Each structure stands twice: as structure tokens, then as C-alpha cells.
């Protein structure tokens, strides 16, 4: 068997609540500058006021850009690493999993997993309601019973297929079929 190596990077979609938080950070930074700058300069502390203003702007920048999250999936010979990249400056390995340890591997339906208890849940997808979102469950040696939710492409399914337990291949093959179906455009009436 040839070596398998595949990387895939996907950006998390922004939600409305995040936009409100970003706006709140900007308003707070402006408030610090507007209130503190005149107050401190009136006491002859202009250099402290400048430092405070610079700190407010820098802090706002760091907080706002921390909402930019990407997930990277790296598949190497039956092992998958999932990393979280924040603002293209900080990388954290979320999990390393072996495909042979998959208990389930299927399209993700949030309702199916609501009543189940997992010791660890890793949501590493662009949007939980997306059409190409899949999940696996497994018993991880350090994280216990784990649910991992991530985006899947046809290439990823093909790369994982040789390493997934035979009992789960039905779902993988079904996923490959769905990717291969041509998109039907509705005919105008």
C-alpha cells in the first residue's frame, strides 16, 4: 500500500454574536482612549496616556483577530491530526486519532448526539449544520469516550477508507456516493 498524506484547512464561519462581541471590543477600546487620554494629560501624564491608548488599540486588535479560527486536518497513513489555528499566529493540536479506533464514522446529525454523554467533545468544523460535516466516536487513551466533529471532503473519505474498520465502510461508501452525485439544477417552469 502506498503512503497516504493529505492536508485540509477550513475556516470557521462567523456567527452574528461574534460580530456583536467585536463591536463591543471596539467600543470599549474607544471608551478607554476617550476617557483616559484627557484625564491623564490634564495631570501631566501624557506619556502614560499614550501607552494606555496604544495598549487599548493593541488589546482590541488581539481580541478581534482571535475570532479568526481555522482547523487543519492532517491524514497520514491511517492517523488523523486535528489542529486549531487562531488568527494565523497560534496553533494547538486538538487530537490525534487512529482510524482503526473509530467506533462510529458517519454524517453528523446534532440531534443524534444530544442525549449521549461524552468525556470529550471536539467541534472542529466550519459550521455544525454544514452538509459536509461528519463525526467519529472513539475511546481515546487520554480523552476517554470522545466525539470529534469535522468537515470531510471526497479526497479525505478516499484517504481514510483503507484504514477505517470494515464495519464502518458502508457509511464511508455512502458518503463517497453522495460526493459523486452530480448537482441537479431545478428546471424553470
pLDDT digits (tens, 9 = 90+) for 59-92: 999 999 999 999 999 999 989 999 999 999 999 9
Task: Express each pLDDT in 22-62 by its tens digit.
Answer: 999 999 999 988 887 787 777 777 778 788 888 999 999 99
Distance CA 6, CA 95 (A): 16
Fill in the DSSP letter of residue 167: G
pTM: 0.79
Q: What cell was used for 117?
A: 454523554
Going by C-alpha positions, the residue among 149, 174, 171, 172 that lies closest to residue 73 is 149
Amino acid at each position: 500500500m502506498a503512503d497516504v498524506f493529505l492536508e485540509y484547512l477550513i475556516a470557521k464561519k462567523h456567527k452574528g454574536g461574534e460580530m456583536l462581541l467585536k463591536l463591543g471590543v471596539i467600543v470599549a477600546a474607544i471608551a478607554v482612549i476617550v476617557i483616559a487620554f484627557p484625564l491623564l494629560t490634564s495631570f501631566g501624564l501624557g506619556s502614560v496616556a499614550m501607552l494606555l491608548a496604544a495598549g487599548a488599540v493593541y488589546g482590541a486588535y488581539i481580541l478581534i483577530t482571535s475570532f479568526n479560527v481555522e482547523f487543519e486536518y492532517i491524514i497520514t497513513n491511517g492517523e488523523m491530526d486535528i489542529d486549531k489555528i487562531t488568527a494565523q499566529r497560534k496553533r494547538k493540536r486538538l487530537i490525534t486519532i487512529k482510524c482503526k479506533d473509530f467506533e462510529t464514522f458517519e454524517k453528523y446529525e446534532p440531534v443524534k448526539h444530544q442525549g449521549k454523554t461524552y468525556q470529550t467533545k471536539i467541534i472542529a468544523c466550519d459550521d455544525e449544520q454544514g452538509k459536509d460535516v461528519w463525526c467519529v466516536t472513539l475511546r481515546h487513551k487520554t480523552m476517554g469516550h470522545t466525539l470529534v466533529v469535522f468537515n470531510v471532503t471526497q479526497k479525505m473519505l478516499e484517504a481514510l477508507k483503507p484504514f477505517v474498520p470494515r464495519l464502518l465502510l458502508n457509511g464511508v461508501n455512502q458518503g463517497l456516493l453522495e460526493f459523486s452525485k452530480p448537482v441537479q439544477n431545478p428546471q424553470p417552469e
